[in-house]
Structure 1
């Protein structure tokens, strides 16, 4: 099957969405029981954590942890937003920097100013978008980012999107109650698919779409720790309690270039492997043997590969033992944890 398709369906009673590119599973979102990123709480400061510059908070969904707590004291009410998923047994990560994000607009109450995605180069289009934004906000004191999806989009749709997000932000910020509460729910997979997967695609919404488009079959394959690469090479993705270990193997290839070929193939396939498995945190790559002179080539390929990935990933660098380390935001729950 050629082209790009977005499948909106359910796995059991869990809402789910998938992107297929030329028949291959490219991205996957499955709802979980944990609080969704983007959820806004009215929380209560509980106790500071000495030496870490943070504070535990009380929320309706359990304890949360907030960094950078200058001016905050125990018992104080505060608005926070879930920024990712918690590690097992740990508090929810939250931030005071609230973002109200939709398909075309991101409203940023704490950061004033109007910004347009740098990917929109055409000056006439940028002027058109500025006019839409100014007319819609009508002097409202809030920050706004217009996303790349605005390029060429219908003016009325953009204006409605801005107005809806600005209104939501206004209602949340106007809240002056003192009790803990959920003020805004994070988006589920179907809304996230509409919001973030904006490239042209066939949209499939019929029940059973995951079966008819072989998404369930692909799910079974990505449960396997082994990821096959070209030329018989492969790498293994093995999550542990502390980190995610990636082991790259050359297979039957015994040529002098086998190591760098396998490592470059791993660099290309790694973002998809982590994305589909929902893996984040510390990631350590045990690469196939290659000369030190090839390290820069590998780093360039890895950087290029992650540039197109939408989950924040820091390429940390080499260890004394020759491993390569990454730090990836926990933007999703591990697939094995969600599906069991």
Structure 2
């Protein structure tokens, strides 16, 4: 499957699309007014320690205080001999956070997750500094290799090489081989480690001089970060539509990723670069709830702060043989589309999939296998659980960046994010009740109702709304006044 990276440089925005097989799979954005924070290192100050939550709020100079849990301050070996680590998550293993932190204390932290909604950034004190092939772990002295390298023999080789070079160059540090290190010999890995050690020396010195609540180290610009994080051996080329940025990225590549320099091109086409492969259209579609399937079925994706739900529907697809065939084919196609949409929209956290009910257990197995196969291509860590008794599939996807929808959209000012507003009829009944309530509270000669034009028109024309009957009962006039500037749900009842 051919893979390309498209880089669009705007005046105040950089966009990157990872395209596989002619379809956009991942979208990255960086704006001058709003940079992603994941990977940045800050000198923070402990604002408040919460023993009951085993957490602390840390001031790092952002709009909202950041969150640090005790589990992100400690790591233990998995015991599997692979050099990987896991955050401590068993309550009896966790020391009281007040023994580790106190209010007013300065602490060096790194952003694990960007701020999301009303939540501040998620932090860790287990710092990691990535380069092209390796990740340096200053406070976790162990060696290992990325679990995404599927070839066990290659993982074993890399762990052996990493252990050797770290023992020689950085015996007090931990080192992890990244996926890009697959097939790389000892020489380039050692050079990468020397670069990381020099970088860490600079970070340590900057941290010593930095004042509280300030950034110590920021990650690379997006156009260069993609060479480090996305450019694998399967990427055929990188196209950049800005000549100056193309030159900067090429210069960076010659120094840090020399084998990739020949694959970086300056795009000079007449059409905008994101019109290639329909990337712009994919972005627009990724902001909607409904995703059409080729068979005629569709997905409905709803993202909330707690979780994301995906509902699968057959739509216009009826099959050619029987209902079970229709359902299986739709669900298999949905599994493939769901995996792509999770990557494209960058949806994370808890995700609940509501496939169409299948009576045949073998069909369920086929759908689960199809879903797991597609998710293997996702660089974000996922965990999928089998069908529940209610026929739902629950899964999680690691969330580090904000979703595409959160970056590009804002809550609707009309419905305030609910997704619906009261009907005109409902508002009419609300107004009638409010007038009746006001008549008991105020000794008014008459009442003035101000509302949106559609509401006033319905109250005037439809006797079923009961306003005329209420006017007769109260024996006091009720005057209506349309206000074009009113929110559709707003109204005022003024006693006069």
Q: Find the residue that maps to 2:193 and give its secondary structure.
A: helix
Q: 1:106 aligned to 2:135?
A: yes
How is 1:1-340 mapped onto 2 (pairs within 5 angstroms)? 3-11=2-10, 13-32=12-31, 33=34, 35-61=36-62, 62-68=64-70, 69=97, 70-117=99-146, 119=150, 121-122=153-154, 126=158, 129-130=161-162, 133-134=165-166, 138-153=169-184, 157-174=188-205, 175-177=207-209, 179-197=212-230, 198=232, 199-207=234-242, 208-212=272-276, 214-251=278-315, 252-253=317-318, 255-291=323-359, 293=361, 294-316=363-385, 318-319=387-388, 321-340=390-409
Shift of 1:11: 4.9
1:129/1:241 CA distance change after superposition, 3 Å: closer
Distance in 2 (alpha carbons) for counterparts of 1:306 and 1:213 = 22
Helix, strand or coil at the partner of 1:288: coil
Tell me, yes or no, if the aligned pair for 1:279 and 1:332 is still in contact at 8 Å.
Answer: no
How far residue 296 of structure 1 moved from its aligned partner, in angstroms, is 3.9
Tell me the number of residue pairs that the alignment of Structure 1 and Structure 2 aligns. Answer: 338
Shift of 1:36: 1.9
- Largest Rg, 1 or 2: 2
What is the TM-score when the length of structure 2 is the normalising length?
0.61
Q: CA deviation at 1:288?
A: 0.8
For the residues of structure 1 that align with 2:357 and 2:364, how far apart are their CA atoms?
A: 11
Counterpart Cα distance in 1 of 2:353 and 2:159: 45
Gaps of 5+ in 1: none
CA contact under 8 A between 2:348 and 2:399: conserved in structure 1? yes
CA offsets per residue over residues 84-135 of structure 1, 9 Å max, x none?
1232011111111111112211111122133244546259964994498359
RMSD: 2.9
- 1:165 Cα offset (Å): 2.0
Q: Residue 257 of structure 1 aligns to a residue in which SS?
A: helix
Distance 2:190 2:143 in 1: 14
Question: Which deviates more from structure 2 when the two are superposed, residues 169-178 or residues 245-254?
Answer: 169-178
**Structure 1 residues 79, 204: CA separation in 2 closer, same or farther (over 3 Å shift)?**
same
Question: Any idea what the Cα deviations from partners look like across 1:170-201, whole Å, max 9, x if unmatched?
Answer: 33345335622211113443233212221332
Contact kept, 8 Å, 2:285 with 2:291, in 1: the verdict is no
Runs of 5+ unmatched residues, structure 2: 71-96, 243-271, 410-496
Higher mean C-alpha deviation, range 116-125 or range 324-333: 116-125
Conserved? CA contact 1:84–1:329, under 8 Å: no
Q: Is the 8 A contact 1:45 1:75 kept in 2?
A: yes
Q: In 2, Cα distance between the equivalents of 1:279 and 1:260?
A: 25
Change (3 A) 1:78 1:316: farther
Q: Deviations over 1:60-106 (max 9, x none)?
A: 12410011135111111111111112320111111111111122111
**Cα distance, 1:289 vs structure 2:** 1.4
- The structural deviation recorded for 1:46 is 1.4
Q: How far does the alpha carbon of each residue in 1:269-327 deviate from its partner, in whole angstroms, 9 at most, with x for none?
A: 22220111122222222221112724444333333322221112232555553322222
State which drifts further: 17-26 or 297-306.
297-306
* Separation of aligned partners in 2, 1:21 and 1:110: 37
* Counterparts of 2:371 and 2:377, CA distance in 1: 11
Given that 2:357 and 2:391 are in contact with CA atoms closer than 8 Å, whether structure 1 keeps it comes out as: no
In structure 2, relative to structure 1, the CA distance for the partners of 1:316 and 1:213 (3 Å cut) is: closer
Rounded Cα–Cα distance in structure 2 between residues aligned with 1:124 and 1:245: 39
Q: Which moved more, 1:155-164 or 1:71-80?
A: 155-164
Query: What is the CA–CA distance in structure 2 between the aligned matches of 1:131 and 1:46, rounded to whole Å?
Result: 39
Alpha-carbon distance, 1:218 to partner: 2.8
Structure 1 residues 324, 79: closer, same or farther in 2, change over 3 A? Answer: same
Give the drift of 1:19.
1.6
